[in-house]
Amino acid sequence: MKHTIDKLIKFRDLTLKGNVRMKDEFIKTNRDKTLNALQKIELEGLKEIDRICRKYNIKYSLGGGTCLGQVRHGEIIPWDDDIDVDMTAENYDKFMKVAPIELDENAFFLRCRKTDKKHLRSCSRLEMKLTSIGIKKWDKKRMKVGIFVDIFKWNYLPNNKFLRRIVSSLLFYIRCIENYKMFHSYAKKANPKFRILIILLAKLLPKTVLFKIEDILTKCCGKRKTNWIMDDAIINGNHGRISCTKY
């Protein structure tokens, strides 16, 4: 039986299982203690996302290593330094609509293209105010970023194999251009043959044009739920063409 990706949303009740902790065997250095403290702060962001989603019946899933940690460890992976949340397009749009109303502006900041003109990524971040985190590529751009939870959007892709490959490839490289425009950093998963072209287009194309192309591509299936999805994290490379017929 084929299932839509709504069937993948089955980890929500696991997200708040107890407190984040590192077992004693994992706390050996000051770095481990710092990482554990980071995870506890990130969990506060996840709890806030969960609260809003429960209130408005918004479905989400833990993503990437966060999901793996719940399945394999029953908690955050002890050496993982971030928390990822995934939402289908319709749930993501609903969350982005209600979150600004619900969030305590003194405690949280929802960083996205609407709230930060320098933010070119298609995904969003829920940041904890009164915190800061240093990452080299952000420090180079003098970007002040709070400790955060990533919120990724799942877009539907055409069921047709040929069209799916075209749409997913165009989406991936549009996001690579946006990434270079924002950080002057070349995505590791991008084909080296396209490096010069990506750099050139990043310099020539205004962000409004890139956003428009991306919007057209992500809406190519309309509101129709298909059997294929792609998230908006370019770190996954152009392998985001995920089948949801096996779940």
pLDDT range class, residue 25, cuts 50, 70, 90: very low
The predicted pLDDT at position 173 comes to 92
Model confidence over 194-246: pLDDT tens digits? Answer: 999 999 999 999 999 999 999 999 988 877 888 888 888 776 555 555 666 54
> Quick one: three-class SS letters along 153-182?
EEEEECCCHHHHHHHHHHHHHHHHHHHHHH
The residue length of the chain stands at 247
* pLDDT tops 50 at residue 90: yes
* CA separation for the pair 4, 180 (Å, rounded): 33
- State the average pLDDT over residues 90-107: 94
pLDDT range class, residue 22, cuts 50, 70, 90: very low
The predicted pLDDT at position 147 comes to 86
- State the average pLDDT over residues 104-117: 92
Model confidence over 136-174: pLDDT tens digits? Answer: 655 555 567 788 899 999 888 999 989 999 998 999 999
* CA separation for the pair 45, 239 (Å, rounded): 28
pTM as predicted:
0.79
pLDDT range class, residue 36, cuts 50, 70, 90: confident
What are the backbone dihedrals phi and psi of residue 19, each rounded to the nearest 5 degrees, phi first?
-95, 150
117: closest CA among 181, 170, 172, 176?
181
* pLDDT tops 60 at residue 82: yes
Encode 16-31: b = buried (16+ Cβ within 10 Å), e = exposed: eeeebebeeeeeeeee
* pLDDT tops 90 at residue 51: yes
H/E element, 127: strand 124-128
Model confidence over 207-219: pLDDT tens digits? Answer: 999 999 999 999 8
